[in-house]
Amino acid sequence: MAIGWGGLAMMIFIFNEPPLVWARWGFFALWFIALTGTSLPIIYLFNLRFVSDPPVESQTIVRQALWVGVYGSILAWLQIGHLVTLWVWMGLAGGLIAIEYLVRLRERSRWQPPVPEHKISTPENDDQPSDDPLD
């Protein structure tokens, strides 16, 4: 996060780069890093507050933060050509939310609950009676 915001501040205020190709790509890369790093703790707190079943894993939180960075970078890129309107803003957000929803739906369908240790049976013990009182 500090690299993104610090790099943007240096690019804008210290280096005073003209908006040529490499400066623009540098801006988009630093903007992406800044937005992703800033949104990561916020998304983590949202996922702690609004618990889902199954609970989200760390790669899901990182992916959601990356979506925020992608969203902000695309909007910044579209703003160069003055193409950002309310409908583009909402449509892009809706599309990214729909993609994340479908990915989470796939993750939930592939999730299997953990098997308790006392219920695990090996093939060589299947034909013998169990001494476990829980069976």
On whether residue 129 sits in a domain, the answer given is no
In a domain, 93, yes or no: yes
**Domain containing residue 91:** 2-109
20: its two tokens = 């040529």
Query: What is the per-residue pLDDT for 16?
Result: 81
Residues in CB range of 71: below 8 A, 6 or more apart:
35, 92, 93, 96
> Which tokens sit at 93?
């957000």
Residue 28 within any structural domain of the chain: yes
Query: What's the alpha-carbon Rg for the chain, to the nearest Å?
Result: 23
pLDDT at 130: 61
Asked, for residue 91, whether it belongs to a domain, the answer is yes
Number of structural domains (the chain) is: 1
Each residue's pLDDT, cut to its tens digit, for the chain (135 residues) gives 788 999 888 888 888 877 788 888 999 999 999 999 999 999 999 999 998 877 888 999 999 999 999 999 999 999 998 999 999 999 999 999 999 999 999 988 887 777 777 765 555 555 566 666 665
Q: Looking at residue 28, what is its pLDDT?
A: 94
